[in-house]
Amino acid sequence: MTQSNANQRGPMGKRAANFGGGRSVEKAKDFKGTMLKLLTYVGQHKIAVFLGVAFAMCSVIFNIVGPKVLGQVTTKLYEGLVAKVSGTGSVDFDWIGRTLLILLGLYLASSACNLIQGWLMTGVTQRICYRMRRQIAEKIAVVPMSYFNGHSKGDVLSRITNDVDTLGQSLNQSITQLITSVTQVIGVLVMMLSISLPLTGVTVLTLPAAAIIMVVMIHFSQPYFREQQQVLGAVNGIIEEDFAGQNVIQVFDRADAAVAEFDEKNDRLFISGWRSQFLSGVMMPLMGLVGNMGYVGVVVVGAQLALTGSATPGDIQSFIQYVRNFTQPVQQLGNVSNTLQSMAAATERVFEFLEAPEEQQAVEAQVPAVRDGRVEFSHVRFGYTPDKTIIHDFTCAAEPGQTVAIVGPTGAGKTTLIKLLQRFYDIDGGSLKVDGVDVRDWDRAELRSQFAMVLQDTWLFSGTIRENIRYGRPDASDAEVEAAARAARCDHFIHTLAGGYDFEINEEGTNLSQGQRQLVTIARAFLADRPALILDEATSNVDTRTEELIQRAMDALMQGRTSFVIAHRLSTIRNANVILVLRDGDIVEKGTHEELLAKGGFYAELYNSQFEEA
């Protein structure tokens, strides 16, 4: 998959995602579509959402009634004081006391409803985040390898962590605020109309100004919210890359270059974050200004109405509270719009990954009845990109039990053949069959279960040595794990470690030497005991003596199994049944070790050059 945005190389030479540039900022591609997709997630919790919305509305209603009741208390107290001063009556404190208790009950009920809706909505949003993270984790296992050629690991991690967190926090705030704000605007409007139509008209006049401010701020801030999420993914990619390769950065004195590249991305993150937050922050003061203008209008008109007797002091006091209650949700709606922008940008990135192309399973996936490891390449043609073919016309057959060695200079296509064999990529032409069935017709999982792999780049996870070896066959017993370790010649060094097989390997296995890590992965392949083997420079990181011991074990392991061996040390493949010599994606020579040496061709040149260099 290619991206429209250019990619840059980081200080480690890897591809680092580069999103946008300068002021050329991209808006959310499909705000409405993204929100509709998100609603399908919310809809799966409709009962909890419905109850949360109901309790939120009840909380607002109880709260809205309060100012009206308080206004009646104010009027009653004012009239009682006036009557007392004139000697015609007194203040009815009993009625005022009962009414204030009712008012207290309303506010307590409002708080209780608000607490319940918060509990319900938090549960909904966290379940949605949990589901999305799980879907992303499952998606990683089914996206084609080509996807990761155009996306840095840090960017994918950012979608799992930052974007999902932003989505969860924003969703929890925005749904509740949206419902309560709309309910409060409608409820307060009704209460204001019940008090005074002229005063309501003055307040409503402020709405167009608030709407204009909100639309303008959304228009200018939305692009920066999206860029902020994108550049954050790029920053995470650089951090992940530089952390993993810190030793190489230090050796080649590239720390300043690494910091400079990080600073460039960090500056863009600062600019986009500052602009988005500043523009969203400006909205609230402007909305407050509009609200204060409404206050002034209500005070002026209310004073005139009070002088003419058209409104009581309690009505004016209630209305002033309602003006605050009216402008506050309008301001909250503006805040919700900012939250929705941030949520839309994050959600869109999550859905972009969830909707990425997946590895295609055959319509009627096949699993051969006889699985003995026969492999046939017939006129295979392949390129990672349409404009650059790497494998031009590759034909080869590996019979069950044969060892096929693949040699050639760097970039000849050796590792690419292995990736095609496991269908990490699909061929562009020709056919590739395993046990007589085209790999495109195989069940993917079953096809890959045919092979055990040992690669030059070791992969170990945090856990014990026993657990890392057992990864090859989870149901293996401890005795089988230890037998595989002995076969791989790593039992001895394991017993020298604290805890032996229960020694804890740290992240990326850095508390083991490179050779020890390689031996553990070889033991894993022994334990897997599969019909076919793929050995890609499996002994490249061990010393000569250990290599010789491992080679003996490999020879025993490869008996009766189809084995593909990629090697640069040509001395390790002398016993291969057939050696394929690749150059620029084509087989230029084919034969046994002795036959190829006798020809005195390219293989002989490669073989002799190794001893000359030594």
pLDDT tens by residue, 50-59: 898 899 889 8
Choose which CATH entry (1.20.1560.10, 1.10.10.10, 1.10.510.10, 1.10.4160.10) describes domain 30-354. Answer: 1.20.1560.10
Query: Whole-angstrom Cα distance, residue 517 to residue 533?
Result: 19
Look at residue 251 in the predicted model and tell me its pLDDT.
Answer: 67
Q: What percent of the chain has pLDDT over 70?
A: 89
**What mean pLDDT do residues 211-237 have?**
75
Q: What is the pLDDT of residues 130-189, one digit of tens each?
A: 898 888 888 887 888 777 777 777 777 778 888 888 888 888 777 778 888 888 888 888
> pLDDT grade, residue 465 (50/70/90)?
very high
Look at residues 320, 331, 61 and name the one whose alpha carbon lies nearest to residue 195: 320
Look at residues 337, 401, 413 and name the one whose alpha carbon lies nearest to residue 375: 401
Q: Which residues contact 173 (CB under 8 A, 6 or more apart)?
A: 336, 339
Instruction: Inform me whether the pLDDT recorded for 24 exceeds 60.
Output: no
Look at residue 610 in the predicted model and tell me its pLDDT.
Answer: 66
Higher pLDDT, 536 or 503: 503
Instruction: Inform me whether the pLDDT recorded for 199 exceeds 80.
Output: yes
**What mean pLDDT do residues 70-84 have?**
79
Query: Whole-angstrom Cα distance, residue 107 to residue 104?
Result: 5
- Mean pLDDT, rounded, of the chain: 79
Higher pLDDT, 70 or 217: 70
> pLDDT grade, residue 593 (50/70/90)?
confident
Instruction: Inform me whether the pLDDT recorded for 129 exceeds 80.
Output: yes
How many CB atoms are located within 10 Å of the residue 148 CB?
15
Residue matched to tokens 């894993």: 524
Look at residue 20 in the predicted model and tell me its pLDDT.
Answer: 33
User: Are 404 and 396 spatial neighbours (Cβ–Cβ below 8 Å)?
Assistant: yes
> pLDDT grade, residue 516 (50/70/90)?
confident
**What mean pLDDT do residues 554-574 have?**
76
Instruction: Inform me whether the pLDDT recorded for 614 exceeds 50.
Output: no
User: Are 153 and 30 spatial neighbours (Cβ–Cβ below 8 Å)?
Assistant: no
**What mean pLDDT do residues 515-532 have?**
85
Look at residue 561 in the predicted model and tell me its pLDDT.
Answer: 80
Q: What is the pLDDT of residues 348-371, one digit of tens each?
A: 888 888 888 887 776 677 777 777
> pLDDT grade, residue 207 (50/70/90)?
confident
**What mean pLDDT do residues 481-502 have?**
89
Instruction: Inform me whether the pLDDT recorded for 13 exceeds 70.
Output: no
**What mean pLDDT do residues 94-98 have?**
87
Look at residues 500, 503, 502 and name the one whose alpha carbon lies nearest to residue 492: 500
Look at residues 337, 348, 339 and name the one whose alpha carbon lies nearest to residue 132: 348
Our measurement of the distance from residue 355's CA atom to the centroid of its chain's CA atoms, rounded to an integer in Å, reads 12
Look at residue 19 in the predicted model and tell me its pLDDT.
Answer: 32
Look at residue 239 in the predicted model and tell me its pLDDT.
Answer: 79
Instruction: Inform me whether the pLDDT recorded for 587 exceeds 50.
Output: yes
Query: What's phi and psi for 506, nearest 5 deg?
Result: -85, -175
Query: Whole-angstrom Cα distance, residue 537 to residue 300?
Result: 86
Look at residues 9, 16, 24 and name the one whose alpha carbon lies nearest to residue 227: 24
Look at residue 6 in the predicted model and tell me its pLDDT.
Answer: 35
Look at residue 112 in the predicted model and tell me its pLDDT.
Answer: 94
- What are 183's two structure tokens? 């309910």
Residue matched to tokens 């209460």: 191
User: Are 7 and 150 spatial neighbours (Cβ–Cβ below 8 Å)?
Assistant: yes
Among 161-170, 257-266, 375-384, top mean pLDDT goes to 375-384
**What mean pLDDT do residues 9-19 have?**
36
Give the domain ranges of the chain: 30-354, 375-613
User: Are 116 and 329 spatial neighbours (Cβ–Cβ below 8 Å)?
Assistant: no
Residue matched to tokens 């996870």: 461
Among 192-206, 416-430, 504-518, 554-568, top mean pLDDT goes to 416-430
Higher pLDDT, 509 or 71: 71
- What are 298's two structure tokens? 């209500």
Mark out the alpha helices in 206-312 (DSSP H runs).
207-244, 246-251, 255-308
Arch. (CATH architecture) of 375-613: 3-Layer(aba) Sandwich (3.40)
Higher pLDDT, 83 or 426: 426
**What mean pLDDT do residues 565-577 have?**
77
User: Residue 403's beta-bridge partner residues?
Assistant: 563
**Out of 162-171, 283-292, 405-414, which region has the weakest mean confidence (pLDDT)?**
283-292
